[in-house]
Amino acid sequence: MVRRSPFHDRVAAANQTSLWSHWAGHLVVDKYEMSEKFEYTAIRNAVGMFDSSPLYKYRIVGPDAERFLGGVLARDIRTCGPGQAQYTIWCDDRGFVNEDGVVFRHGDDDFLLTAAEPNLAYFEHLVGSQRVVISEVTDDIGILAVQGPRSRAVLAALAPEADRLAYFEHTDAKIAGAPVTISRTGFTGDLGFEIVCAADDANAVWDAVAAAGEPHRIQPFGQTALLMARIEAGLLLIDVDFEASRFAENDEHRSTPLELGLGWMLKGIDDEARPFIGRAAIRRERDEGTSRWKMVGLVVDWEDYDRKFTAAGMVPPKDHTPVHEDMMVYDDDARRVGYATSFMYSPTVQRHIALARVRPELATPGTNVNLEFTINHSYVKVGAHVARTPFFAPDRKTSMPDDPVAEPADDETGDAS
């Protein structure tokens, strides 16, 4: 049976296209309007709202909750205080990534973890004798993401507590009389917040956010616009940019944190007091330099791209719809040196961009490579260069409201360039 999120009544009423897909067994909107670019533009230039409720959600409580998470999560949970959140990963004992998620710390012994895939049985198996209780609360909670340069103004009008939230902080508040948690988090790479509420309060919260956002031209946005934004932000997507190790068929479909560019998470990996799962294997990979790949950004040479499509009698396509499939990467001697996993034409960067794995020796920004396209049913190599990610990272994403770059000018419209 297809499940419906707590916001489904409002989502369905706003969906003008009747285009749906499935996410974690839930119906989700692909796009609300005939062109998802309106929704994407709202994220980048105004404010949009997205139903994130299908995420799996786990409450982890008990005197040993921190110790349990410290032994499972690769990122040090001890550095995350009450009122803070962390983007994190968990690995298998060979150092391959199982999954990523966000953990919210509500108290010394009280955590909420969100994830894209079901993990309850996996986590429960690891508890052992530790005094910790893990409960799935997926159906009890709705999550509404409010994203874009106007998101702070919308949320502050409803809950003044949101105005002073720093990046990856969260606070308790009330919206439409309902108790909520507001966090400064999201999956768009822009200024943004997420509202966690009880399922029974979801419609009231949606209505309040929509009303507060009306002066800012708030726009619900669907999966396509979200996936456009996340590629620009260099954010990895499970089952696209990496696969969960426990479900992968072989090591070619597994990835380590270092190969995914997540080494920044591993501060304190040499601390013997926190032997998390996979730690020894990851340290060995680091010390011996055995990473097979490195995740990088690619920017396509627009002149070479246009020239090769034009020579084939075609108008060079500039399609912003994300492509989630392998595209081979070659060096100048036609040797395969990697593959792209996500590709699109970015309306903001105004270039074709990709997230890709390349051999570590080719991962230096500026290195020239070639990305393979199909033109007139033939494989054609087009020049590209390695680039740092994120491709788009506005200062407002992490800045505070008294910073002059935190909010756009009142007349800011159109695509950035």
Dihedral angle, C-alpha 85, 48, 21, 89, nearest 10 °: -20
The distance of Cα 79 from the centroid of its chain, to the nearest Å, equals 21
User: Is 171's pLDDT higher than 90?
Assistant: yes
What pLDDT digit, counting tens, does each position of 96-123 carry? Answer: 999 999 999 999 999 999 999 999 999 9
Task: Quickly list H helices, 77-150.
Answer: 120-127
Average pLDDT over residues 391-416: 66
Domain residue limits, the chain: 8-56+139-221, 294-387
The confidence score (pLDDT) of residue 404 equals 61
User: Is 348's pLDDT higher than 70?
Assistant: yes
The confidence score (pLDDT) of residue 408 equals 42
The confidence score (pLDDT) of residue 158 equals 98
The distance of Cα 321 from the centroid of its chain, to the nearest Å, equals 17
Residue type, 368: N
Which pTM does this prediction carry?
A: 0.94
Residue type, 194: E
Average pLDDT over residues 242-270: 97
Average pLDDT over residues 333-361: 98
- Domain topology for 294-387: Elongation Factor Tu (Ef-tu); domain 3 (2.40.30)
What rounded mean pLDDT belongs to the chain?
Answer: 95
Length of the chain: 417
Contact 36, 225 (CB under 8 A): yes
Tell me the CA distances in angstroms from 83 to 106, 169, 187, one per residue in order.
Answer: 6, 6, 19
User: Is 230's pLDDT higher than 70?
Assistant: yes
Greatest Cα-to-Cα distance within the chain, rounded to the nearest angstrom: 68
- Cα 364 from Cα 179, distance rounded (Å): 48
Contact 60, 246 (CB under 8 A): no
Q: Which CATH superfamily is domain 8-56+139-221 in?
A: Probable tRNA modification gtpase trme; domain 1 (3.30.1360.120)
**What element of type H or E holds 12?**
helix 8-14
User: Is 410's pLDDT higher than 90?
Assistant: no
Question: Up-side HSE of residue 253: CA atoms within 13 Å toward CB?
Answer: 11
The crossing angle, in degrees rounded to 10, of helices 37-45 and 223-232 is 50
∠ CA 224-391-364 to the nearest 5 degrees? 130
What pLDDT digit, counting tens, does each position of 31-86 carry? Answer: 999 999 999 999 999 999 999 999 999 999 999 999 999 999 999 999 999 999 99
The confidence score (pLDDT) of residue 403 equals 76
**What element of type H or E holds 28?**
strand 26-29
Residue type, 288: E
Average pLDDT over residues 133-147: 98
First to last CA, the chain: 44
What pLDDT digit, counting tens, does each position of 182-193 carry? Answer: 999 999 999 999
Tokens 């570590």 — which residue? 360
3 state SS of 235? coil
